[in-house]
Structure 1
Amino acid sequence: MIVRNINDFTGTKFDVDTETWSSKRLLVKADNVGFSLHDTIIKAGTETEIWYKNHVEAVYCIEGEGEIEVLATGTIYPIQPGTLYVLNGHEKHLLRGKSQMRMICVFNPPTTGQEVHDAEGTYPLN
């Protein structure tokens, strides 16, 4: 059994902060549960280009408002508390935070916990 508290992650190597988002990686590849789980803050007024070509990501918004734009189609979906989206087609997208958003993210395969987006907007396959 794994029992953790989000406050235990503050300031550790599993507390990753960038210009547009910050994320506490609550479960990672080393935990051997088959997925990783992140509590992520999307910063207000930001836009991030993302392409998870190596991962499937499920995202559940629990706070704030924003939108996701699928680059291949130009389709824009609003995000608000209660919205779930799943990038099961490895969609390249823009994620925009109109206000600060808090998102719960699940990745398969699991991440190591220190990833940041590369020049393509992707995480490496580890």
Structure 2
Amino acid sequence: MTINYNLQLSNSKPWALFLILLRWRGSIWKLVLIELVIFLLMFLSINIFLNHILPENTRKTVAEITQWFKSQETFKMIPMEFMLGFLVQAIITRWQKMIHDIGFIDSLSLTVASYIHGNTDYSRMIRRNIVRY
């Protein structure tokens, strides 16, 4: 099923793209909703467990273990920002390659529409078939 967003993007308002992101039909939120809910539930359960359920002495022990890991030289040799930089760079490169490989037909569609005139069903079908194939 194709979802048509052309009407929402045609008015060139600065917030039009963000309104597209908030739509539910054909949305990216449908794809990541389950993973987002699982991540948030896990994060909240760990946070509530560590900050509210554990006794005070166990919380101090967890804080000491965390500080010990932070103080180790092996963890200081490769900063986390450096590793995250590589991860972000790899993700951005992958998305750029995917976007580059997508065939955009907007300019072809506008050219075909400007050269093939008419409001009849025949001319409409010709324009549609040229753009499609």
With structure 1 as the length reference, what TM-score do the two structures score? 0.20
Larger helix proportion of the pair: 2
Q: Larger C-alpha radius of gyration, 1 or 2?
A: 2
* Bigger strand share: 1
TM-score, normalised relative to structure 2: 0.19
